[in-house]
Amino acid sequence: MSKNMIMAGLVVFVLAVLSPFWLNLITSTQAAPEPELLGKAAKVKKCVLDKYEMRAEHMYLLDVWRDSVVRDAARKYTGTNGETFNMSLSTGENSCLGCHEDKAKFCDSCHDYASVSPYCWECHTNPKEIE
């Protein structure tokens, strides 16, 4: 292989390796979402888990809830703060979205940022959209 071909290949490789750096330079980078408590949630300020635990483990919790509701018909969950919540993503005042009213801000902003596309919404509906 000729030297020029090798060098061309090397340049391509280095550009690929460093792509996260230059891609973010030449395109506008989406900023990290700022978590914001709105509406009811801002007033209540009592969630099922602590803030960072919630951030890391909410998907696991929802999975447990789903099994609990569907298989055992057990719908009550007592949070770390002693409060009792309804095990539901989107139904009723005492559900996740019942308190955190803005799905776009509460769910989607972070999911989009981290490129996570949960399949929650293939069955559930955002209560706001029903109205």
Partner 1 sequence: MNQRYLIPLTAVFLLFLLAYAGVEGLGLQVVFGVLIPYLAIAAFVIGFVIKVKGWAASAVPFRIPTTCGQQKSLPWIKQNTIDNPSTSTGVFVRMLLEIFAFRSLFRNTKAAFNRNASNKLTYSFEIFLWVGALAFHYAFLVVLLRHFRFFTAPVPEVIQTLEYLDGIIQVGLPGLFISGPVLLLATLFLLSRRIFDAKVSYISQAADYFPLFLIIGIAATGIAMRYFTKVDIIGIKEMTMGLVTFHPHIPEEVGGLFYGHLFLVCILFAYFPISKLMHMGGVFLSPTRNMANNTRAQRHINPWNYDVPIHTYEQYEDHFRDKMIEAGLPVDKKE
Site string for partner 1, 53-92 (x = CB under 8 A): --xxx-xx-xx-----------------------------
Estimate to the nearest angstrom the gap between the alpha carbon of 96 and the chain centroid: 13
CB 90 within 8 A of CB 127: yes
CB 75 within 8 A of CB 88: yes
* Min separation Cβ 26 and partner 1, Å: 12
Among the listed residues 23, 38, 44, 104, the single contact to partner 1 using CB under 8 A: 23
CB 49 within 8 A of CB 79: yes
Q: From CA 100, how far away is CA 107, in angstroms rounded?
A: 9
Residues that bind partner 1 (CB under 8 A): 1, 3, 6-7, 9-10, 13-14, 17-18, 20-21, 23-25, 29-33, 52, 55-57, 59-60, 62-63, 110, 112-119
